[in-house]
Structures are given as C-alpha cells and as structure tokens.
Structure 1
Amino acid sequence: MGTLNEYLQQKREALLERRANAERQPDQARSVFSAKVRAAGRSGVREIRIRDFQVISDSPPDFAGYNLGPSSPELQLGVLGSCLTHIALIQAAERQVSLHSLEVEVTGEMHPLAGRPGYEHIPIHPHNIQYKLIIQSDESEETLRAFHQAIEQVCPIFNLLRNPQQIEGQLVVNRLSSESVL
C-alpha cells in the first residue's frame, strides 16, 4: 500500500495535466454538475443521485426517520469536510508539501425550536460550524500556515458557506388529474 506522499505525486501530475487541458481549451473547461433527489414513499428516505452514485439521507427516529443515513445538515458538514480534504490534497500536491496523514473533523449545531416564537434568535440553519485540519507533516510552521491559508482561499464549499449566493427556486407541479389542488 502506498503512502499519502506517493498519492500526492499522482495528484500533482493529474492537476498539472488538467490545468494544461483547461488552458488549451478554456471555453470548454467549465464544469456543470447536478444532483437529483427523490423522497421514497412510506419512509421519506431521500435518495440522492449524483452521476452514477446514490446516497441515502434520512432522519433519526426521533424525527420520523429510520436512521438509514445521515440527515441533510450532517451531509452538509460531510461535504464541507470532503471538500476541505480534497483541496488540502490539491494544495499539498501543487505546493509539494509533504503530508504523512490528513484528516478533517467538522462540527456544527442546530436546535429543533430555532425560529419559533421565543427562539427567533437561534438560526434555523446549521451554525457554529467549525473544522479541524489534522495533519502529520515535517514541514515548517510557515509552510503549513501558507498551506492552510491557500486551502481556505480556494475551497469551493468553504467559500460557498462563508460567502453564500442567491439560490433561485421554482415550483413545478405535475397533477395526477384535473381535480388536483395545491
């Protein structure tokens, strides 16, 4: 089994090749991606489809769930941790930072009464989000501080959460019969 530093060399080669391809054809470099989610009947389990992958999201039993998968807020923390980890790998590869191990822990809070009368001061969204980037490395403190700063500067999900954007939504109704009412 290879080491993390061996993988970082492969990551560096892939990164350089990907950037070279994007520079050769910048008009075709844009990525468009999507996810589709369907609520399963009787269980309410959310089946998330992304490319050829399926992820299950569910609620804990105390919220009418079957505990078959993480909740949406838990997935969001996992997505943030995954993105921070991936960007850390990219930055380590690009900067040739030696890493023996890499782990990210993400925590957040939610309250079931958030936004209700008397609890308007509590955000309805995950809040107090914090992460720990836990690495084993022989690099200097200066190198590691610059490495960490670069991760936060370019991590897409970290920056989406820190600097949110407008999200446009639309309701599409497919009626079973002409008598269906909203």
Structure 2
Amino acid sequence: MTNSTLSDYLVFKRTFLNDPNRPKPGGEPLTASVSAEGRAGIRRVKIRDHQIISDSGYKGGGSDLGPIPAELMLAGLGGCLSHGWVMQSALANIDLRFLQIDVKTVSAPDGSKAPVGLEYTVRISSDASPAKIRELFSIVEEKSFVFNLLINPVQISGTTEEITEKDEAA
C-alpha cells in the first residue's frame, strides 16, 4: 500500500480543475433526508449514497450515539472551507503539506440554542508566502457555499405532510 499525501492529491486536483471538459458544478439541488428512529430516537441522515447518525448528547436527553445537528453544521462549514483551500491551492500551484480547519461556536449563556457567533482557524503548512496565504483566505471565503450561506442567510420555508401507516411501511 502506498502512502499518499495531500501534496499528491493536489497534483490530481490541479489536473482535474484544469481539464476544460470536466463537469461543472452548480444548478443541481442538494438534498438530505433525516428520519427519527428507534428507542434511542437517533436521527438517520441520508445524503446521496451516504448515511450519518445524529443524536443528542446526554444533556439533551439523547444517547450520544452521534454528533448533534449543530456539530454537523460546523463540520459542513469546515469541510466546505477545506475543499476551498484545496481547490484554490491547486489552482495557484501551491503545495499544501498540512491543512486542518477547526470550527467552533458557543450557545448563548441564557441557555437558548442561539449561537453567539462562529469562528474558525485554518491550520496550514505550505510553500506559500504569508501574503499568498492571506489572498487565498479571502478567495476561499468568497467562494465557499456554506460560508456564504451562513453570512448571507436565505429564506427557509417548511411544510408538513401527514402520512398513513401504509406510507410508513414504504
């Protein structure tokens, strides 16, 4: 088995991004389906061909069998920013030796669920100058889907749909 590195992946990513015939992202709906299940009330998150278990921690009356939804949102932000750093580094021909995004938030002190803010730290080792890192930082934030969703919230609408026992079995 070969040990591959982030630098090795950047070579692949650079080739992919520079291919004029590559499929262009965008315009497709992003969907997730979440169902509450079983005695523990876990939430099974289904996204494309992937599944993640989400649960409440013990303080929230859960069994702590998976991350809470807010932690998944933090992971979504960190994952999107990480993807942006990889893409922009590949395009700029910068070698990343290490990349980690740490994201955190704190609930309001009054016990409400409202966060008082989000912050993240990019931990990076590369061959880029500090000025180039600052430039990439700005570009990544500008192009990040999740970052922009959080700083420029979109309207959310919801509906309910009553189903029968027959529908439950399907």
TM above 0.5: yes
Mapping of residues 1-182 of structure 1, within 5 Å: 1-17=3-19, 20-22=21-23, 30-111=27-108, 113-114=111-112, 124-176=113-165
Provide the TM-score with structure 1 as the length reference: 0.82
Shift of 1:175: 4.2
Q: Deviations over 1:91-139 (max 9, x none)?
A: 111111221100000010114732xxxxxxxxx3333210000101221
Decide whether the 8 Å contact of 1:73 with 1:126 is kept in 2. Answer: no
Q: Distance in 1 between matches of 2:41 and 2:21?
A: 45
Q: Distance in 1 between matches of 2:94 and 2:148?
A: 23
Paired AA for residue 8 in structure 2? E
Q: Distance in 2 between matches of 1:80 and 1:29?
A: 18
Paired AA for residue 86 in structure 1? H
Q: Distance in 2 between matches of 1:126 and 1:22?
A: 37
Runs of 4+ in 1 over 6 A off after TM superposition: none
Greater gyration radius:
1
- Taking a change above 3 Å as real, the CA distance of residues 135 and 61 of structure 1, as seen in their structure-2 partners, is same
Decide whether the 8 Å contact of 1:5 with 1:98 is kept in 2. Answer: yes
Decide whether the 8 Å contact of 1:47 with 1:55 is kept in 2. Answer: yes
Paired AA for residue 11 in structure 1? K
Hey, which of these two has a bigger chunk of strand by percent? 2
Decide whether the 8 Å contact of 1:57 with 1:71 is kept in 2. Answer: yes
Q: 1:117 maps to which residue?
A: none
CA-atom RMSD in angstroms: 2.0
Q: 1:120 maps to which residue?
A: none
Q: Distance in 2 between matches of 1:55 and 1:71?
A: 11
Paired AA for residue 33 in structure 2? K
Q: Distance in 2 between matches of 1:16 and 1:30?
A: 21
Task: Please give the secondary structure, in 2, of the residue aligned with 1:65.
Answer: coil
- Unmatched runs of 5 consecutive residues or more in structure 1: 115-123, 178-182
Q: How many residues align?
A: 163
Task: Please give the secondary structure, in 1, of the residue aligned with 2:67.
Answer: coil
